[in-house]
Structure 1
Amino acid sequence: MFRILGAIVGFFMLGFLGIFLGYLVGSFIDRFKALGPSGMNPFNTTRRQSVFLETAFVLMGKLAKADGRVSETEVSHVEQFMQKLGMTPEHRLKAIALFKQGAAVDYDIHPKMNEFLAICGHSNNLKQMLLVYLIIMGLSDGHLNSDEEGLLHVIAGRLGYSHAAFNQLLDMVLNQMHFAGGQSTSASALDDAYKALGVSKDSTDQEIKHAYRKLMSQYHPDKLMGQGVPEEMIAVATEQAKEVQTAYDLIKKSRE
């Protein structure tokens, strides 16, 4: 609509050249209006949320079965995860079906990964949050075995992560989890805090603050929801943000 109006106004103001310029300006306005108030097409957002959720539960199933069997701890973790998400009975049944689908012996993850990359692959945050959820799932029994870690490396590779980049993310999430529920009281708490932020004791205050702000931005609820993380899954990101905050507070206190 605006492209036509732009062309008409452009003609009266600048003649035939104005038609072209007015049409271009109108096209930009039409595109912006189509995106909605948040700058994102709501239908595309719904699609992203659906694909993100489906991919997460399918890959959780695949990860749980990576060592040949789905343990009771892993089943319990998924049940707690669904409980935390506050899923409706209908969505819960769908999530369980997706988990079982991924846990099937002959299930091939690559078609689902292709779909995820096509719909969500434009966002580094969505790719990272998917990996974070899967790492938390893999660590639900306290450690990653070689099969689970191998599968995570395959998934990370499909998402564009190098071996080193994924290992750094894995180390950060592992150490962030040490601060679940509050400040860690272990002897290595300060070392864990630096690792949770992806920095070291040699990092400057400015570098540490930058790493902290970057992580808090990545876990920000509004940003994640705007990019396509389902609302139900924001609770997990919020917990990670609290752990990052606790780790950062510990580092700041140690440097006073």
Structure 2
Amino acid sequence: MSFIWAIITGFVLSIVLKTGWGFILGLFIGPMLYQAFCNKLTEQKTKANPELYLTVVFEVLGHLSKAKGVVTQDDINLASQFMDRLQLDRNSRKLAQDSFNRGKASDYPLRSRLAELYAQYRYRRNVLNIFCEQLIQAALVDGILDEKEQQILFIVAEEFNIPRQQMAIYVQMMMGSYHFRQNGYHNQQNQRGQYQHGNHYGGYQGRSTQTDLQNAYKILGIDSSAEISEIKRAYRKLMNEHHPDKLVSKGLPKEMLEAAKKRAQEIQAAYDLIKSARGFK
């Protein structure tokens, strides 16, 4: 079937471009269009499972806590803080607590549970990316990500077919996000009422330091030497991935939506800070 798509695409492009090179180009593009069509069709047929998503997030969080040895009261408090940040209702909080406790078990089937989640969301890559971000964010509540925790995150990457290098980038992005919040800019913007206006995210207008700027680049997942076009491309990509309506339609649990919105606010603040420093619109 992909061969037929290649022929049809090549034929159309040769007419549009009025050159034989259009046909050759179509032979490459056609199969990719076919694969994208099949993925979209499969996504529509595969039902998302928001409860499974929420359950596995907290199971893996419990497993992360256990990886350091003994789960301390501090670990439990940190998990509770994460639940507070998600503004979970009583039933969702009970589900999260039970899931956290299951994840602490020494025989917790990490890979099989991740595989189960991947089977539900494999054609909803944005949601899996959000899963990774939120997991890292939860692990970074204390500002520390030790070697054993990183090993578990790389197992998550393997089961989700995410390149190890990409997971490392996610870690750096969330580290930048953590330090950005620690410097108080999130709270400053909320207090000034400049973060969100209706359905739009407001600009960054606070004082900044070189450290803040470096964290802003990390949040966008780019280097400080990035060209303006690359900065804009990274920003648009991240904002599209964190769009609330799109995430809900793809099966993100409503309990995770507020965290996704706050992440979008941080992305916007980071971008505005970089724009101000680099002097572009």
Same fold (TM over 0.5): yes
Amino acid corresponding to residue 216 of structure 1 in structure 2: M
Task: Provide the C-alpha distance between the structure 2 equivalents of 1:195 and 1:54, rounded to a whole number of angstroms.
Answer: 29
- Select 1:224's aligned residue among 247, 250, 254: 247
Task: Provide the C-alpha distance between the structure 2 equivalents of 1:137 and 1:201, rounded to a whole number of angstroms.
Answer: 26
Report matched runs for 1:200-239 at 5 Å: 200-239=223-262
Aligned: 1:44 with 2:67: no
Match of residue 71 from structure 1? 72
**Structure 1 vs Structure 2 CA RMSD:** 2.1
Q: Higher RCO, 1 or 2 (CA under 8 Å, sep at least 6)? A: 1
Match of residue 5 from structure 1? none
Does the aligned pair in 2 maintain the 1:113–1:158 contact within 8 Å? Answer: yes
Shift in Å, 1:161: 1.6
Shift in Å, 1:99: 0.5
Amino acid corresponding to residue 94 of structure 2 in structure 1: L
Aligned: 1:55 with 2:56: yes
Deviations 1:156-176 (A, max 9, x none): 111112221111111111112
SS across alignment from 1:70: coil
Deviations 1:195-241 (A, max 9, x none): 22122233221210110011111111111111111111111111111
Task: Provide the C-alpha distance between the structure 2 equivalents of 1:166 and 1:108, rounded to a whole number of angstroms.
Answer: 21
Does the aligned pair in 1 maintain the 2:140–2:178 contact within 8 Å? Answer: no
Amino acid corresponding to residue 208 of structure 1 in structure 2: I
Shift in Å, 1:184: 7.6
Task: Provide the C-alpha distance between the structure 1 equivalents of 2:277 and 2:93, rounded to a whole number of angstroms.
Answer: 44
Does the aligned pair in 1 maintain the 2:242–2:260 contact within 8 Å? Answer: yes
Alpha-carbon spacing, 1:201–1:88, altered in 2? closer, same or farther (3 Å): closer
Alpha-carbon spacing, 1:251–1:114, altered in 2? closer, same or farther (3 Å): same
SS across alignment from 1:140: coil
Amino acid corresponding to residue 237 of structure 1 in structure 2: A
Task: Provide the C-alpha distance between the structure 1 equivalents of 2:263 and 2:79, rounded to a whole number of angstroms.
Answer: 17
What is the TM-score normalised by the length of structure 2? Answer: 0.71
Task: Provide the C-alpha distance between the structure 2 equivalents of 1:40 and 1:133, rounded to a whole number of angstroms.
Answer: 25
Amino acid corresponding to residue 213 of structure 1 in structure 2: R
Match of residue 170 from structure 2? 169
Task: Provide the C-alpha distance between the structure 2 equivalents of 1:167 and 1:228, rounded to a whole number of angstroms.
Answer: 25
Shift in Å, 1:186: 4.6
Task: Provide the C-alpha distance between the structure 1 equivalents of 2:207 and 2:264, rounded to a whole number of angstroms.
Answer: 15
Shift in Å, 1:185: 4.4
Does the aligned pair in 2 maintain the 1:179–1:246 contact within 8 Å? Answer: no
Among all aligned residue pairs of Structure 1 and Structure 2, give the percentage whose two residues are the same amino acid. 33
SS across alignment from 1:228: coil
Task: Provide the C-alpha distance between the structure 2 equivalents of 1:252 and 1:62, rounded to a whole number of angstroms.
Answer: 40
Alpha-carbon spacing, 1:184–1:144, altered in 2? closer, same or farther (3 Å): farther
What is the TM-score normalised by the length of structure 1? Answer: 0.78
SS across alignment from 1:141: coil
Match of residue 191 from structure 1? 214
Report matched runs for 1:102-251 at 5 Å: 102-180=103-181, 181-182=184-185, 185-251=208-274
Shift in Å, 1:40: 5.2
Moved more, 71-80 or 179-188: 179-188
Moved more, 184-193 or 100-109: 184-193
